[in-house]
Structure 1
Amino acid sequence: MNGRMLVLLSGIVGSTAYGLAHAGSDVDRLGVYAEPTERILGLRPPGESLVTTKPDVTMHEAAKFCRLTLRCNPSVTETLWLDGYEVCTPLGEELIGIRSAFLSAARVRNAYLGYATSQFKKLRDRGDGTFSADLRKRTEKHARHLVRLIQQGEELHATGALTIRLAEPDRVRDMGAWIADQPDRALVLISRSESRFDKPGVLPAVPDEPAVEAWLQRVRAAHYTPPKGTD
């Protein structure tokens, strides 16, 4: 990572945050950082994401993080709803404070149901459950993610809030195994979820982009160092 880069907010996400981790699970971290503003304004702006494995860390620069969250990308959105953080600066606290500004009805539906549907396609492509033990584990993992995404998307739609740690992780595990046996069982959950999304929810039609833009401009102002020799 760039030595001048500042992490604004970072926490543990994924199976550990959901309460689905087991002894061999990876610990995934995701966060948002700010590049020095003068670098962004230069001829060769830096990249907007930093990804490492062992440890598994994904960091998005502030502007990209905002764009992804405005699209209600589930894996990024959840970062603003964690129970706790390993890094949380004042600007990170401000970001958490405007987390509802990123939400909008159509984008939550498209993101969460869309991701759930993509998980279903992965399940369906793997046949009827008669495969190797390793493939079986991956299939159950996709099925668990499908169940979780549906639950979390419906919660956002109905309440405008997101609970990251699952209330009944064992039930989600059992449902994952049940769906992995016969992937078409997932169609029942997806159809039911579509019906729930069709009912009125609490989310606005459009996100509060001015609030997000104002936060991002505060980040830029806080991380700008004028070139030497200027007033």
Structure 2
Amino acid sequence: MNDSTKPDPGRRRFLARAATAGGALFLAGCDRLSRSDGMVSLFDSASALTQTAQRALTSRHDLAREYPASEIAATFRANGTTNPQNSDYQALAANGFRDWRLSVEGLVELPRSFSLDELKRMSSRTQITRHDCVEGWSCIGQWKGAVLGDLLAQVRPTAKARYVVFHCADNTYGGPDKYYESLDLIEAMHPQTLLAYELNGADLPIANGAPIRLRAERQLGYKMAKYVMRLELVESFEDIGRGNGGYWEDRGYNWWAGI
């Protein structure tokens, strides 16, 4: 499922909305309130206000905090799906991802695909950042990857493109739905938004999302899709999943997860 442990759906919905809204009710952990239509509406409204305020008060280029190497965790926590079991992914992993390609399509002028070696030859960035999960844990790691904005410049988003959708290899909890996530172009073009292929100086482990995972350092952990296979630039989410912009968003999370 990418980055979350398996919880009660009502509790996850509450935690996600509370975390993105920044409300004190997050600390109370009250499932009953999370199932209230009034509270759901309140959290949604607060999230929209948080997004508007953050965009108004901060530059689109403001950086998330970066940390010294001394604070890197000895082991970066891996949870949720840690080894997708579908046959296509397993075949790619068995071959060291030499046959893996990242397809970039949708509302772009120059659709194309990239091998892992091609991504590694692109302009890269290394950053030490903190991953914050809505389940209440954080972990600091060093990431290296291709700068997503530079990749997007190569495929030339059209004027109608508003979002980048990240389609992934893992079937969450063994169900029929593959994980997916999305960012608007402001976050996608942010200098710290990476398609990461290294963690703590080594190739990204399968448990943490190999061959690449998204790092969007101004967002909560559920936005940082693992096992990314395809990018799709779209004008809306209407025809993707249940139309809310992400796997967990389709199940009650807020699409905006800025921190």
TM-score band, normalised by shorter chain: under 0.3
Q: Which of 1 and 2 has greater Rg?
A: 1
More helix as a share of residues: 1
More strand as a share of residues: 2
**TM-score (normalizing by structure 1):** 0.26
